[in-house]
Homo-oligomer: A and B are copies of this chain.
Amino acid sequence: MHDFRLTAEQLEFRDAIRDFVEREVKPAAIDPKRLEPFEKPLMTGFLDQLSQMGLRGLALPEDAGGAGADLLTRCVLLEEIAAGDVDLAMVLGETALLASAAHGAMTEAQRARWVPKFEAEDRFHLALLARDGTAGRAWSYHQAVPEDAETIGEPEVVATRDGKGWTINGLAPFVSNAPVAGLFIVQAKIDGEPGTVTVLLGRDARGLEVDEALPSFGDGGERARWHHGAVASVVLNDCKVGADDVIAADAAHRMFSGMAAQRMLQTAAVNVGVARAAYEAAVDYAKMRWQGGRHIIEHQSIGMKLADVAIQLEAARALTLKAAWITDHPDAVGERHVSDLPWHVVARSFTAQALHRATLESAECFGAMGVMRDMPLQKYVHDTLVLQHSVDCDLAAPLAVAEAVAGYSR
């Protein structure tokens, strides 16, 4: 039975966040003083307040102190946060995702050790160091991926046996949430053997170093920061891990499976939030700005742009929430309620394309104001462009759909 209502709890939670974002986050986020400079430090005050509202533990089971929210709920809420600030949404989304996945994979003893720490401190986030098995794969549409695939920015972390535990060494150049993480989930290649081992490393582990958050430009100005949330490189230098901080192999496997799909859908929801902010700004402006003898929204050229934006936005939201629900209810595919597709790719690809276009159109309604750095529109455009060209969504990303349809296996 189809239903597009939210539950009373979802509505209440959504509105509370929407209210907080409108009142607090957005005015600060689009303050010209914040917009103009290249560097935009994470607004940690709001991060903590949102954590207090339950966003970090959103997906944790209730008995672990969380809200037990499914992916759909997370998408609804992340859209709200992203409409205020994209970085806050990305940080909280990643922590919520990892908290739930890790909690499921931990032993009781591990939970007993880490959950209280997580709960005790508002600014205790989670970060993952893992090689994305699919990186670069989409390009090799009709041949097996060779070993020499270029995988830029992937961590190279190696674990060496050390009694019952491990010694971990390596470097991960880009780790989301690293600047605010209290706990790192680290997947390392086992030295001299096939396979990997996954371990838990606290922020204060000896040998673990987190670099400064990534600056706007790197490599002598040849590279620009292209990432939302908080990101830094992490160095592991002879980090010792006892057997009690190792995630069991089967539990680790379960933890990783499905994690990428969930993250992609969370990102799609964040994308919707950013584009919505642009759309709402454009509608407000077009209703107020007077040129050509009338409010500009009454000019067909502007009206058409805004109509297109509204339509793309609703299409993206509808697809994202549907994909999230299906990910929450995988049986619906087998029971033939919905198509059998990699829904996370469908929603993420569509959303990224449609919403960059929509955001640019929103900015166009502002004329020259759209490109001014003291106005939020240029930032929204940039944010959606980053979302469109990122590790999980690039030129080749939709090929994963064709592959699924073709029944072709790389």
Tell me whether A311 and B346 are in contact in the complex, defined as CB-CB below 8 angstroms, given that A299-B142, A306-B405, A399-B300 are known contacts: yes
Interface residue? A321 (CB, 8 A): yes
Please report the C-alpha to C-alpha distance between residue A298 and residue B343 in the assembled complex, in whole angstroms.
Answer: 20
Interface residue? A337 (CB, 8 A): yes
Q: Which of B322, B400, B402 lies in contact with A297, CB distance below 8 A? A: B402
Interface residue? A13 (CB, 8 A): no
Interface residue? A270 (CB, 8 A): no
Please report the C-alpha to C-alpha distance between residue A401 and residue B315 in the assembled complex, in whole angstroms.
Answer: 14
Closest residue to A143 on the B side, CB-wise?
B298
Of the listed residues A297, A311, A338, A408, the one surrounded by the most CB atoms of chain B closer than 10 A to its CB is: A311
Q: How many copies does the complex hold?
A: 2
Tell me whether A307 and B1 are in contact in the complex, defined as CB-CB below 8 angstroms, given that A314-B341, A346-B314 are known contacts: no
Residue-by-residue, is A280-306 near B (CB-CB < 8 Å gives 1, otherwise 0)?
A: 000100110000001101111011101
Of the listed residues A3, A7, A299, A338, the one surrounded by the most CB atoms of chain B closer than 10 A to its CB is: A3
Chain A interface helix/strand/loop/mixed: helix
Closest residue to A399 on the B side, CB-wise?
B303
Please report the C-alpha to C-alpha distance between residue A312 and residue B401 in the assembled complex, in whole angstroms.
Answer: 12
Interface residue? A72 (CB, 8 A): yes
- Residues in chain B near residue A304, CB distance under 8 A: 398-399, 402
- Residues in chain B near residue A407, CB distance under 8 A: 287
- Residues in chain B near residue A287, CB distance under 8 A: 406-407
- Residues in chain B near residue A7, CB distance under 8 A: 1
Closest residue to A9 on the B side, CB-wise?
B1
Interface residue? A118 (CB, 8 A): no
- Residues in chain B near residue A322, CB distance under 8 A: 4, 314, 318
Interchain CB contact under 8 A, A337 and B300:
no
Interchain CB contact under 8 A, B341 and A408:
no
Interchain CB contact under 8 A, B346 and A310:
yes
- Residues in chain B near residue A310, CB distance under 8 A: 341, 346, 401-402, 405
Q: Report, nearest first, the 3 A-B pairs whose CB atoms are least far apart.
A: A303-B402, A307-B398, A307-B401
Could you list 18 A-B pairs, sorted by A, with CB under 8 Å?
A4-B325, A4-B337, A5-B329, A141-B299, A142-B298, A297-B405, A302-B402, A306-B401, A307-B349, A310-B401, A311-B349, A311-B401, A314-B341, A314-B350, A315-B319, A315-B354, A318-B322, A319-B319
